[in-house]
Amino acid sequence: MKFTDTLDHDIVVFDISGKIMGGDESTRFHGRVRENINLNKKNIVVNMEKVDWINSVGLGMLISALTTVKNAGGRLVLVNITSIESILALTRLITVFEHFDSMEAALDSFKQ
């Protein structure tokens, strides 16, 4: 897994690519989520467009990030989940995560 994070106004956008399987990159991801929260950047979009695969540890990483953001009074949404939609549906996490089909829709959801 690789990721980058950028700021779009007050919204942090994480672009994730590759296989989400835990490990050092997952730890770094959660660390970056916490760093942004400490900077009062509590609205987060996670772009899954370039994700090839996810395992249970990767799902745990996303759940942990969602919990951290919610506990800080923020909001985390997923976008472009096509590659992992079946695993989210199978685990019923599709009902836990807000998700959008496009980056524009995800970013617009924060303006409401």
Q: What is the pLDDT of residue 65?
A: 97
For the stretch 31-56, pLDDT in tens is: 999 999 999 999 999 999 999 999 99
Which pTM was predicted? 0.94
| CA 23 to mean position of chain CA atoms | 16
In contact, 81 and 49? CB cutoff 8 Å: no
- Domain CATH number, residue 26: 3.30.750.24
Counting Cα atoms < 13 Å in the Cβ hemisphere of 96 gives 17
Instruction: Please tell me the distance from the alpha carbon of residue 14 to that of residue 7, in angstroms, as a whole number.
Output: 9
Number of folded domains in the chain?
1
Domain hosting 99: range is 2-109
For the stretch 62-75, pLDDT in tens is: 999 999 999 999 99
